[in-house]
Chains A and B, each alone.
Chain A
Amino acid sequence: SQKIEQNSEALNIQEGKTATLTCNYTNYSPAYLQWYRQDPGRGPVFLLLIRENEKEKRKERLKVTFDTTLKQSLFHITASQPADSATYLCARAGGGADGLTFGKGTHLIIQP
């Protein structure tokens, strides 16, 4: 089965620094990876998508990379702010059902 692994431990970053979150996948490379943000008690919100043939994608302070050799995606938030504190989910398509396979998420805490 296709798996997505994220470091489920909380990641503490000082405000203003760059936060880097890791997403590793197993088996074949997915056609794309997606990143979502989830706040407590809320539904996930889409942030970025990166395709297999793309090395990097940017959106404002966010940057995502996709390394098919390492089977890994990195999610960066530059100039981090306390408002960026949330759980970030990585997801891939593929597998038996038509849906996304999500990682367990990384809880990011930006400390003032």
Chain B
Amino acid sequence: EAQVTQNPRYLITVTGKKLTVTCSQNMNHEYMSWYRQDPGLGLRQIYYSMNVEVTDKGDVPEGYKVSRKEKRNFPLILESPSPNQTSLYFCASSHSGLATNTGELFFGEGSRLTVL
């Protein structure tokens, strides 16, 4: 079954404690991206990756890091989480970059993060 898998699905942590949210896709997609969703603000892109070892900032990258060492995995790293990073996070993938590709985004089920 084609899917994007995120872990953990739920996490409560404290300010400053480094955490990683993993994301894996089994569709051999080149393009992967992270979004956060907040009430009243909608979905906003954090980072994206066009392919292995190629990553770039989205609209709200501050406080986050990503890496793309393998095609299937795209972890989101919060080096020093703060309360304003409390949010619902979604990983997504697509066949290729969206500027030139009209393919759909496949989303994971989301990771709800609370930073105290």
Contacts and interface: CB of A to CB of B under 8 A. Distances in A.
Nearest to B34: A99
B99 A44 contact: no
21 contacts: A31-B102, A32-B102, A43-B110, A49-B102, A49-B104, A51-B102, A89-B42, A94-B99, A95-B59, A97-B57, A97-B59, A98-B50, A98-B99, A99-B33, A99-B35, A99-B48, A99-B98, A100-B105, A102-B35, A102-B42, A102-B43
**Dominant secondary structure at the B interface:** strand
Interface of A: 8, 31-32, 34, 36, 41-46, 49, 51, 89, 93-95, 97-100, 102-105
Chain B CB within 10 A, most for which of A31, A49, A97, A104 = A97
Q: Return the 7 tightest CB-CB contacts between A and B, nearest first.
A: A43-B107, A46-B104, A104-B42, A99-B45, A102-B43, A97-B58, A98-B97
Secondary structure call for the A interface:
loop
A97 B102 contact: no
A90 to B, nearest CB: 10
B50 to A, nearest CB: 7
Given A93-B98, A100-B98, A42 B48 contact: no
Contacts of B42: 89, 102-105
B109 A42 contact: yes
A42 B1 CA distance: 17
A36 to B, nearest CB: 8
B56 interface: yes
A44 B41 CA distance: 15
Given A98-B97, A102-B42, A102-B44, 20 more contacts: A32-B102, A34-B104, A42-B109, A43-B4, A43-B92, A43-B110, A44-B105, A44-B107, A46-B106, A89-B42, A89-B43, A95-B59, A97-B45, A97-B57, A97-B59, A98-B50, A98-B99, A102-B43, A104-B41, A104-B42
